[in-house]
Structure 1
Amino acid sequence: MAMHVTWNWRTCEELPYLTCSLLKPWKHGFFTQQFSPRTPAEITSLMQFQAEAYRVKQVHGNIVLSPSEIHATLAEADGLITELPGQAVWVASADCTPVLIADSSTGNVAALHAGWRGTAAKIVLSAIAKLQTQGSKIENLKFALGPAISGTVYQVSDQVALEVLSSIGSDDSKSMQTLQELPNPPILPDPHPGRVRLDVRRVIALQLENLGISPEQVAVSPHCTYSQPEHFFSYRRDKLKLVQWSGIVSSTLKLNF
């Protein structure tokens, strides 16, 4: 995780949302359940972001689109990447990880919905590849992994864990045991046979590390959707299909870090 990064509570019309200092130059937010049932367009307007809002129909995959590729009212995908300044891209999440990416050179940004399936399918790496086709360089990218269910409470089957861990090159029970012994491990033991606790955000961070991205470029939120019912919806906790939105606006600025 990036050093000297802070996650800050802010309010808009007395409604709480989070920002990440790593993305400070960009208008962005990880919005709480208190903003429900507002749409991304409504939140964009409420925040006085001078931008056009874009979203997709999320299907737990690894497809990442740009606004010019959205031809249907709600195209099926799990990520959006901007092409021009003043575009706001949004994703919905409950326990899945909202990932916001920003390029300090081009000003382009991305918003991704990364559940366990999308993480296993390497959606974040797909987004990076698409950003690179637009001229991005890895060293200029900043990543903020927002509020999601934490590894200490996210119980999954061994099969699911192995599928996700294969994205970082660990795809058997022996390597899974080895991963549990690491500092800040991506999986933790569970008292139930055939189950483990999975930290999806840690897996994403390891995917980025394996790509050669510096930990200084990555911020991981300490907030857990399951454990903080006062702020976040959690499907695992409540079994209700309710979501909170996360969004970021592309910029014309070229920033030097």
Structure 2
Amino acid sequence: MLSPLEADSLSILPGVRHGFFTRQGGLSRGLYTSLNCGAGSRDDAVAVIENRSRVAKHLGSYSDDVQTVYQTHSATALVVDQLRDRLDLPKGDAVVTRTRGLAVGVLTADCAPVLFADADAGVVGAAHAGWRGALGGILEATVAAMEGLGAERARIIAALGPAIGARSYEVGPEFVAAFEEASADNARFFTIPKGRKTPHFDLAGYVMHRLEGLGLRRAERQSPCTYENESMFFSFRRATHRNEPDYGRQISAIVVT
């Protein structure tokens, strides 16, 4: 049974359903147990297709899949009006629609998923905000794409989902330099924990900072750490630290019903 995390601010919107889905409730096994929705993983393709179908059904989608994109850590937001072939996905890091019944989503395994909705306009979106995308403007691009479909930012609600926490996100000095070059104010998102020598980055805090600067109706944070909560979430960094050969991806999705 699927039990996604939900944001209170999105849950009360009429005609909108959403979910930050965990790794629980699917068919995959081994490293991918159990709701792996990442077609780019080396998991059994049949299991991944069924997992995504379960998500689509849970949300009340008209199809048996969620429209995602081929994610590249860019600032590209794409508008879709129908389900694309899963073997021919467009490249980008956000997907926006006003098509009723078409669930749109993003895949993550430490990066930050953000779901957006303007219920009055019937426009929703999903963004994949890794550090490159967040710094490069993927959140701003998503809102702009929604406005192109008739949404108004003063009505848009955004919700940030599960992502790697600062305690688990160690980075190098060149990483810090890239953010401080963009704005000296970004230094506040880096700390050096007691007993450590290298900085740690607060990705969720930074994403919320960018969202709060967009003039939206509301931005909500529902972001438990993907690295620390192994039973709930896949984590690229955790898999890397364990020298595991691959990792699963959880999906976050939203639909206008």
State TM-score, norm by structure 1.
0.78
Residues 107-131 of structure 1 deviation map (CA, whole Å, 9 limit, x = unaligned): 2100111111111111001111111
Q: Secondary structure at the match of 1:16?
A: coil
Q: CA RMSD in A?
A: 2.3
Determine if contact 1:51/1:86 at 8 Å carries over to the other structure. yes
1:246 aligns with 2:252: yes
1:55-134 matches, within 5 Å, as: 55-68=68-81, 73-134=88-149
Partner of 2:222: 221
Alignment partners' CA distance in 2, 1:153 and 1:222:
13
Unaligned runs of 5+ in 1: 1-12, 180-185, 252-257
Partner of 1:211: 214
Number of aligned residue pairs: give it: 223
Determine if contact 1:120/1:165 at 8 Å carries over to the other structure. no
Name the amino acid aligned to 2:20. F
Q: Which moved more, 1:230-239 or 1:42-51?
A: 42-51
1:21 aligns with 2:8: yes
Alignment partners' CA distance in 2, 1:65 and 1:46:
23
Structure ranking higher in strand proportion: 1
Determine if contact 1:80/1:112 at 8 Å carries over to the other structure. yes
Which of residues 187, 200, 204 is equivalent to 1:201?
204
Which of residues 174, 181, 198 is equivalent to 1:159?
174
Alignment partners' CA distance in 1, 2:149 and 2:59:
27
> 1:242 offset after TM fit, Å?
1.5
Name the amino acid aligned to 2:238. R
> 1:41 offset after TM fit, Å?
4.3
Q: Secondary structure at the match of 2:171?
A: strand
Unaligned runs of 5+ in 2: 27-34, 37-47, 241-245
Alignment partners' CA distance in 2, 1:76 and 1:57:
5
Alignment partners' CA distance in 2, 1:227 and 1:74:
31
Determine if contact 1:162/1:176 at 8 Å carries over to the other structure. no
Q: Secondary structure at the match of 2:234?
A: coil
Change (3 A) 1:68 1:107: closer
Residues 169-214 of structure 1 deviation map (CA, whole Å, 9 limit, x = unaligned): 33xxxx555x2xxxxxx22224554x31111121121112233346
Name the amino acid aligned to 2:227. Y
Identical aligned residues as a percent: 29
Q: Secondary structure at the match of 1:232?
A: coil
Name the amino acid aligned to 2:136. A
Residues 85-110 of structure 1 deviation map (CA, whole Å, 9 limit, x = unaligned): 22100111000001100113212100
Which of residues 136, 153, 158 is equivalent to 2:151?
136
Determine if contact 1:81/1:131 at 8 Å carries over to the other structure. yes
Determine if contact 1:64/1:80 at 8 Å carries over to the other structure. yes
Name the amino acid aligned to 2:74. G
Alignment partners' CA distance in 2, 1:166 and 1:136:
32
State TM-score, norm by structure 2.
0.78
Change (3 A) 1:111 1:165: farther
Which of residues 23, 27, 42 is equivalent to 1:33?
23
Change (3 A) 1:89 1:201: same
1:233 aligns with 2:234: yes
1:187 aligns with 2:206: no
Q: Secondary structure at the match of 2:142?
A: helix
